[in-house]
Structure 1
Amino acid sequence: MVHERRLPVDDALAPLPAGELHWLQAGDLEVALAAGAGGRLAQMRYRGVDWLVDAEEGGAATIAWGCYPMVPWAGRIRRGHFSFDGAPHELPVNFGGHAIHGVGFSRPWQIDSLDATSATLTLDLPRDRYWPFGGVARQVIRLQAHCLQLHLSVQAAQQAMPAVLGWHPWFRKPDRLLFNPGAMYPRDEEGIAVLPCVPPTPGPWDDCFITDRDRDIALVRGGQRLRLRSDGDHWVVYDGAPHATCVEPQSGPPDGFTLAPRRLQPGQQLAQTFELVWEHDAP
């Protein structure tokens, strides 16, 4: 029998306030960085319109606000179990009996550089029961007048490791979501993605999709259109909440250590970019 272990230190529903904020600005775009709260962006504001659910709206639950990096895995690892190089591994569960969203979103990140329009952060990944492989994660955040560029990477240390990267933005509920995926991972009775992929079904969704990289993904809200782009082809969309829609670029699917294993050799790096571009939305 699998017994669920609730670990307050890394419970995804435990409170995590924003703490100290560092505001970056370029033209009409402002971004609040909460490095101590999982290296996340606490707010994105363009021409006075706030785009993210903040800590108060999210009830300060670690999992439920801002835009945070998911590293060294994204989404759920089924019951925290996976195999790597022929050996079984078990991660502490932190959400509904599964291990969710990596270890970076609940830990403070170090600010290596910070100026008016950019920041670089790093996180030394643990080598303990929460993550047995070590490694280092790095974020680069850059603002332009209408564009936010995010870069996330993870590098293996002295031993090989599996890896999946992503971001989890909690966007305030848009007027419209423009999204036309090519395929979808179905979910089983535990709500976990499985193979083979199928044609997309109608929403509401809490699902992982595969899209062509040139397909347009956008949110429309407050007279603005926010275009989302990534150099990956996996996106998770959660739009079942009345107050928010999450559109999450990832380098692989949930339970990716089993469904689509990606192995990093010692010293090897996995990287992904996420670009958000604001435009005026014509009526």
Structure 2
Amino acid sequence: MSNLTRLTAGDAELTINPGHGGRIESLRIGGTELLKQGDHYGSFPMVPWCGRTRDGVFRDGAALHRLPLNAAPHAIHGTVRDRAWTLARTDGTEAVLTCELDDPWPYKGRVTQVLELAEDRLTLRFGVEAYDASFPAQAGWHPWFLRNLGQGGRDVELDFAPAWQEERGADHLPTGRRVDPRPGPWDDCFGMPDGVDATLTWPEELELRVTSRAEWVVVYDEPEDAVCVEPQSGPPNGLNTLPRLVTPIDPLEVESVWAWRRL
């Protein structure tokens, strides 16, 4: 496809599709693909909210706003993964993309995404700006890492040490109670107040460490073929429970680093 943008550094190759939600379609290390392939997979941006927003409704002061129910009865993963992004610039190892925030999001603003590839890491950054009226927002990443790299090796092992787990209700949203981390499989949000730090290890093949100063991570490892480790700036339904206000002079900025090494 002509609209794909490719970055290379050493034997690392990153493929971005600005026209398909600004998502990462492929991350290959030494020719080995790390991400599940397909229209809904790879790694996509979650902006201006992450995970589910209860009943597609959030309040901003006295104002009540309704969002499209794309995961009925809830609204999920923001709006920008379904939009075309603009490639602002690229130089072979770095790409900058932008996407306007507008209908069905009730405020005007812009999201900037920066992707910087090095031989041993990928640095990802989001900036969320408000043009005029302030608004609550979240930003995060939803990567679908392959459970098995298809080279005859063993399945991935996930290691992380959260301070707590958000108790999940029957509606898949946090109940408001924090509990001790429970065994998986998970489709759950965890708190890491010192920053997200999770390591995926494909034994005898590759180790990939996901870090971020963000304090929340959702882990989704129920699928047979993928494991999702999702650093994000707030918990599911956070527009209602833990709003972070974006103003014209105070953007929301979030960064994550994926660093790897061969085993």
User: Normalising TM by the smaller chain, what interval?
Assistant: over 0.9
Name the counterpart of 1:188: 169
Which residues of structure 1 form unaligned runs of 5+? 1-17
- The answer to whether the 8 A contact 2:130-2:246 is kept is yes
Name the counterpart of 2:152: none
Name the counterpart of 1:78: 54
Once the two structures are superposed, residues 89-118 of structure 1 have per-residue CA deviations (whole angstroms, 9 ceiling, x without a partner) of 111110132111111111010000012101
Name the counterpart of 1:219: 200
- The answer to whether the 8 A contact 2:141-2:231 is kept is yes
2:36 counterpart of 1:53: yes
2:238 counterpart of 1:256: yes
Code of the residue aligned with 1:25 in structure 2: it is T
Q: Work out the CA distance in 1 between the residues paired with 2:197 and 2:171.
A: 31
Name the counterpart of 2:185: 204
2:28 counterpart of 1:33: no
2:91 counterpart of 1:115: yes
Residues 1:216 and 1:34: Cα distance change in structure 2 (over 3 Å): same
- The answer to whether the 8 A contact 1:124-1:137 is kept is yes
Q: What is the aligned counterpart of 1:172 among 139, 146, 149?
A: 146
Q: Work out the CA distance in 2 between the residues paired with 1:111 and 1:105.
A: 15
Once the two structures are superposed, residues 54-110 of structure 1 have per-residue CA deviations (whole angstroms, 9 ceiling, x without a partner) of 11xxxx3xxx30111111111110110111112111111101321111111110100
Name the counterpart of 1:142: 116
Code of the residue aligned with 2:100 in structure 1: it is D
Code of the residue aligned with 1:197 in structure 2: it is R
1:186 is paired with a residue of what secondary structure? strand
- The answer to whether the 8 A contact 1:70-1:103 is kept is yes
Code of the residue aligned with 1:136 in structure 2: it is R
2:100 counterpart of 1:163: no
Name the counterpart of 1:273: 255
Q: Work out the CA distance in 2 between the residues paired with 1:244 and 1:254.
A: 21
Residues 1:159 and 1:190: Cα distance change in structure 2 (over 3 Å): same
Q: Work out the CA distance in 1 between the residues paired with 2:197 and 2:239.
A: 28
Code of the residue aligned with 1:268 in structure 2: it is D
Deviation at 1:253, TM superposition (A): 0.2
Name the counterpart of 2:151: none
Which residues of structure 2 form unaligned runs of 5+? 148-154
Name the counterpart of 1:102: 78
- The answer to whether the 8 A contact 1:19-1:36 is kept is no
Code of the residue aligned with 1:208 in structure 2: it is C
Q: Work out the CA distance in 2 between the residues paired with 1:160 and 1:214.
A: 26
After TM superposition, where is structure 1 displaced by more than 6 Å over at least 4 residues in a row? none
% identical aligned pairs: 39
The TM-score, its normalising length taken from structure 1, stands at: 0.87
